Amino acid sequence: MTENISSPHNPRIKQTLRLRDRDQRDQRGLLLIEHLRELNQALAGGVEIVELYLDERYESIAELFADQNLPALNESLRSQIDSVTTLASRAAMEKLSYGDRVSPVIAVAKHLNCDLSRIVPGDCSLVLVIDSVEKPGNLGAMVRTADAVGVAGVILSDPICDVWNSNAIRASQGAVFRLPIAVSTALETQTWLQQNEFQIVTARVEASVAYSKFTWASRTAIVLGSEADGLGERWQASSIQGIHVPMRGSVDSLNVSVTAAVLMYDAIDRMKQ
């Protein structure tokens, strides 16, 4: 454990705060993890913590885990975490925290591998493809639902928002650290899906087939695009099937994360029948 930090203007605090910027995250290969729930998920997912700031009210990460009634960390992991832990004042933690809620713990961690090889499809596999979605809250919500459904993995195709955005991590409730997530271009994604014999299904408002009438294959990839622009021509090949969620009210579409939830649950249930 290193020397305590009392000032919110400490150079280390300022350096850590730069990770709010995507360019800094990409250049340094690091990300921020806020709040205990997300940290617990990250540790369970094997994320490597390189620096951890802990509210000085606690003497160690073990004390914080015990205070929140979480299972104790194994001795090896606890020792590794303790070696990179710095106790910080309330003012310093307020400076580091994002939003109104002050977290008792904030970690700096290394990026996870996001190659397509992370996703290993089985005989019956559902994959979610998120194409050019711009809002981190939507991205995180879809990853959270994908984890709940039990998909084989999530592919971020030509992403506008990165998965290590603080809002995306929070909206996923830390599922970004447990679920296989890959980042690639649309072309690379389509090639990988075809090579692995996936049925490719796009969600489109103008599609003629309702999702409830659709026959899901044992290997299916559901593709959703941004709410602003939808899916471009790159997802309109004749081999790709479009489906829609019927709209019976006055609005013409659902939030993309809601659409993802409807389609994933229907697909996973009927694929296994």
pLDDT at 98: 85
Q: Which residues contact residue 50 at a Cβ distance below 8 angstroms, ignoring those fewer than 6 apart?
A: 30, 84, 108, 109, 110
pLDDT for res 58: 94
Q: How confident is the model at residue 1 (pLDDT cuts 50, 70, 90)?
A: low
138/251 same-domain check: yes
Helix axes 256-271, 136-149, angle to 10 degrees: 20
Asked if the model's pLDDT at residue 152 lies above 70, the reply is: yes
| 144 and 39 housed in the same domain | no
125 and 77 co-located in one domain: no
CA separation for the pair 157, 159 (Å, rounded): 5
**How do beta strands 199-203 and 219-224 pair?**
parallel
CATH number at residue 127: 3.40.1280.10
Residues 129, 204, single domain; the answer is yes
Percentage of the chain modeled with pLDDT above 70:
98
At residue 221, φ and ψ (nearest 5 deg) are -115, 125
Q: What is the dihedral of CA 169, 171, 174, 180, to 10 degrees?
A: -80
Q: What was the pLDDT predicted at 65?
A: 92
Indicate whether 189 and 132 sit together in one domain: yes
Do 184 and 210 fall within a single domain?
yes
CATH code assigned at 89: 3.30.1330.30
pLDDT at 113: 92
Instruction: Tell me the per-residue pLDDT of 100-129, one tens digit each, with 9 for 90 and over.
Output: 789 999 999 999 999 999 999 999 999 999
Are 74 and 143 members of one domain?
A: no
Per-residue pLDDT band for 273 (boundaries 50, 70, 90) equals low
Output phi, psi for 214, to 5 deg.
-90, 145
Which residues are within 8 A (CB) of 11 and not within 5 positions of it... i.e. 6 or more apart?
none
Buried b (16+ CB within 10 A) or exposed e, 22-44: eeebeeeebbbbbbbebbbbbbe
User: How does pLDDT run across 248-266, given as a tens digit for each residue?
Assistant: 888 888 899 999 999 999 9
Cα 159 from Cα 179, distance rounded (Å): 17
Q: Measured between alpha carbons, how far is 73 from 69 in angstroms, rounded to an integer?
A: 12
Q: What is the pLDDT of residue 246?
A: 93
- Identity at 3, one-letter amino acid code: E
pTM value? 0.93
Neighbours of 145 (CB within 10 A): 20
What confidence category does residue 2 fall into, taking pLDDT thresholds of 50, 70 and 90? low
- Nearest to residue 151, comparing CAs of 214, 198, 202? 198
In whole angstroms, what separates CA 47 from the centre of its chain? 13
**Number of domains observed in the structure of the chain:** 2
Q: Say yes or no: 238 and 175 in one domain.
A: yes
* pLDDT tens by residue, 187-238: 999 999 999 999 999 999 889 999 999 999 999 999 999 877 788 788 988 8
The DSSP code sequence of 85-139 is EEEE-HHHHHHHS-SSSPPSEEEEEEPPP--GGG----SSEEEEEEES---HHHH
